[in-house]
Amino acid sequence: MQRRRFLAAPALIPTALYSQTQAKLPPMAERIEAYGLKWQVIAAADWQVQGNELQLVTARPQQANPRRPIQFALAETDPINRFTLEVEVQRSKPKGSLILVYAWQKDGYFNYVHLSDDAASKVEAHNGIFHCYGGDRVRISPAQGPATLISEAWHKVKVVYDGSKGLVEAWVDGETSPSLKGIDLSLGAGRLGLGSFFHTAGFRNFKLTT
């Protein structure tokens, strides 16, 4: 039987920093602590931690060359090949979006789930699964599906990833759609993160099962 580990605030879980000899770290020179983990960030002042709530209070949009997100907190763990992530999220007002990074291997090489108040059929770069491999982000999920963060309230999100199949699937408030399912076989195991492409965002009640 496979052993399962649970990470949840406020329990402290020992973790190991992903070896810098294996991956070039992004320009994340500072650290914050949340949910019993340490997270690498560009600037600790961009984040606020209160109990089980993590708030991204400063947006740092990546405009171009390459076009991919940079503003996320990256958990200091060993590479994870299979996980279930459960977290409540809150987008910015009056419009907004946020990302859940997974399979991060090194700067510019990662995947992410993008959740938005826009449907993918309306804005193709929103509300879906995206892949970064040294260049601009590329959509790897269909564009069929509704907007997910339709209100400014907190929403329950679950992300399930199996690196052996390259498969990820996300649910928001118990609902999924083709736009929230994607496959990528190029990355496999990696680290995960929480953040946004263009906006501020909130995260709370984080639980990771591996």
Closest CA to 69 of 42, 99, 97: 99
User: What domains, with CATH codes, occur in the chain?
Assistant: 6-209 (2.60.120.560)
State the greatest distance between any 2 C-alpha atoms of the chain, in Å, as a whole number: 46
DSSP 3-state assignment of 5? coil
pLDDT in tens, 50-97: 999 999 999 988 767 899 999 999 999 999 999 999 999 999 999 999
Structure tokens at 24: 């070039």
**pLDDT above 80 for 17:** no
Supply the pTM of this predicted model: 0.87
Average pLDDT over residues 29-36: 96
- pLDDT at residue 139 is higher than 80: yes
Peptide bond between residue 69 and the one before it cis (omega within 30 degrees of 0): no
45 DSSP 8-state letter? G
Residue type, 186: S
Q: What is the mean pLDDT of residues 182-199?
A: 97
Residue that wins the pLDDT comparison between 47 and 8: 47
Q: List, as one string, the DSSP characters of 160-188.
A: EEETTTTEEEEEETTB--GGGEEE--SS-
